[in-house]
């Protein structure tokens, strides 16, 4: 089984909406849950954001735990807005003593990631206190550019400061680079670059390019095999009333992908008032600017080593 896991670099989408969940017949094809992306690489389960999509993921993880001695999971939070956190109290592995959770996220308004997450799952906001649960939890506050690494076969990560990249990761090594961008009001958000087996994925939600795209961002995403990029708005909606909200248009996303020379672009963090047909139109528009573009849908899977 280990060899099978090591031969996969699988990206799976569990929540693709922004702002708030939008269940209903108008969102069936793309999905109505908020941000949550699972990546399986080198035997590790990596989760990016804890929007409502993490609830479905947690059920799948618990089913796979049947008969297993433990579950090692790492959760990476981009920022503190509720659409990226609201599923956390319903993450079932927290209730299981076999779970070993590493949780990474930003320092915001002077608060550590533990100080930001614990109140979400403790009285008076939630009836169960996460501090009393049997799972093992380790919090890692990202205060600067950092690199999180799993050596081949390692259970726990090593965290170092600085994201200067070596030409390639060591064989069997998983490497995640974390970098702040200040394009999302008002405290900024973290973008993550995941590298494994010579391939790379960038998770860049909640970014806005008002004018020139940050050169540091372009350098960070350069040459990625897969870029998951915020593309919440159409250009007319953005220009009419959405400027400064911290989200990109389809054009902004395709421009970043083209300049940075990425292989494939995934449009992400869909506007909750847009139905499936509108998102299809935005995907078609995006392909006119960057041919290798897809619109994120719940349940979509991409294996970069297939």
pLDDT single digits (tens) 29-45: 999 999 999 999 999 99
Provide, for the chain, the percentages of residues in helix, strand and coil under a 3-state DSSP scheme, each rounded to the nearest 5. Answer: 25, 30, 45
pLDDT of 1 above 50: no
Contacts 24+ apart (CB under 8 A), 5-9: 5/40, 5/42, 5/43, 6/42, 6/43, 6/172, 7/305, 8/40, 8/41, 8/303, 8/305, 9/39, 9/40, 9/41, 9/196, 9/197, 9/199, 9/201, 9/303, 9/304, 9/305
pTM for this entry: 0.96
Domain with 294, as residue range(s), is: 2-301
Q: Reply yes or no on whether the pLDDT at 297 is more than 80.
A: yes
What are residue 140's DSSP bridge partners? 104
In-domain check, residue 81: yes
Alpha helix (H) residue ranges in the chain: 2-6, 53-64, 113-117, 215-221, 235-237, 250-260, 276-289
Answer yes or no: is 306 within a domain.
no
Structure confidence at residue 278 as a pLDDT band (50, 70, 90): very high
Q: Is residue 72 a part of any domain in this protein?
A: yes
| Residue 141 domain flag | yes
Whether residue 103 has pLDDT greater than 80: yes
**What CATH number has the domain bearing residue 254?**
3.60.15.10
238-271 pLDDT, tens digit each: 999 999 999 999 999 999 999 999 999 999 999 9
Closest CA to 158 of 175, 141, 134: 175
Q: Is 171 part of a structural domain of the chain?
A: yes
pLDDT of residue 153: 86
Share of the chain above pLDDT 90, in %: 84
Query: Which secondary structure element, helix H or strand E, spans residue 199, and what is its range?
Result: strand 199-204
Domain presence at residue 127? yes
pLDDT of residue 210: 76
* pLDDT value at residue 119: 96
C-alpha atoms less than 13 angstroms from C-alpha of 27 in its C-beta half-sphere: 20
The verdict on residue 192 lying in a domain is yes
Split into its structural domains, the chain has a count of 1
Residue 67 pLDDT grade (very low, low, confident, very high; cuts 50, 70, 90):
confident
Residue 97 is assigned to a structural domain of this protein: yes
Output 227 or 169, whichever has higher pLDDT.
227
């Amino acid at each position: 089984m280990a060899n099978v896991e090591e031969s996969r670099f699988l990206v799976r989408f569990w929540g693709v909406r922004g702002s708030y969940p939008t269940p209903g017949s108008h969102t069936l094809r793309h999905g109505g849950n908020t941000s949550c992306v699972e990546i399986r690489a080198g035997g590790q389960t990596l989760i990016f954001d804890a929007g409502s999509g993490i609830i479905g993921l947690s059920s799948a993880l618990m089913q796979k735990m049947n008969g297993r001695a433990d579950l090692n999971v790492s959760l990476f939070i981009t920022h503190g807005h509720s659409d990226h956190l609201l599923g956390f109290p319903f993450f079932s592995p927290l209730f299981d003593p076999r779970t070993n959770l590493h949780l990474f996220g930003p320092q915001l308004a002077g608060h550590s990631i533990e100080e930001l997450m614990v109140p979400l799952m403790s009285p008076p906001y939630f009836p169960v206190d996460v501090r009393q649960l049997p799972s093992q939890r380790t919090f890692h506050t990202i205060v600067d550019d950092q690199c999180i690494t799993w050596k081949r076969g390692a259970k726990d990560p090593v965290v170092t400061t600085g994201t200067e990249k070596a030409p390639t990761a060591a064989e069997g090594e998983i490497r995640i680079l974390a970098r702040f961008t200040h394009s999302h009001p008002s405290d900024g958000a973290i973008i993550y670059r995941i590298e494994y087996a010579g391939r790379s994925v960038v998770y860049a939600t909640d970014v806005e390019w008002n004018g020139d795209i940050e050169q540091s961002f372009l350098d960070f995403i350069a040459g990625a095999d897969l870029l998951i990029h915020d593309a919440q708005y159409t250009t007319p909606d953005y220009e009419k009333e959405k400027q400064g909200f911290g989200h990109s248009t389809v054009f902004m996303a395709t421009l970043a992908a083209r300049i940075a020379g990425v292989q494939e672009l995934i449009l992400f963090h869909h506007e909750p008032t847009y139905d499936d047909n509108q998102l299809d139109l935005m995907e078609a528009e995006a392909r006119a600017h960057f041919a290798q573009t897809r619109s994120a849908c719940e349940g979509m899977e991409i294996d970069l080593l297939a």
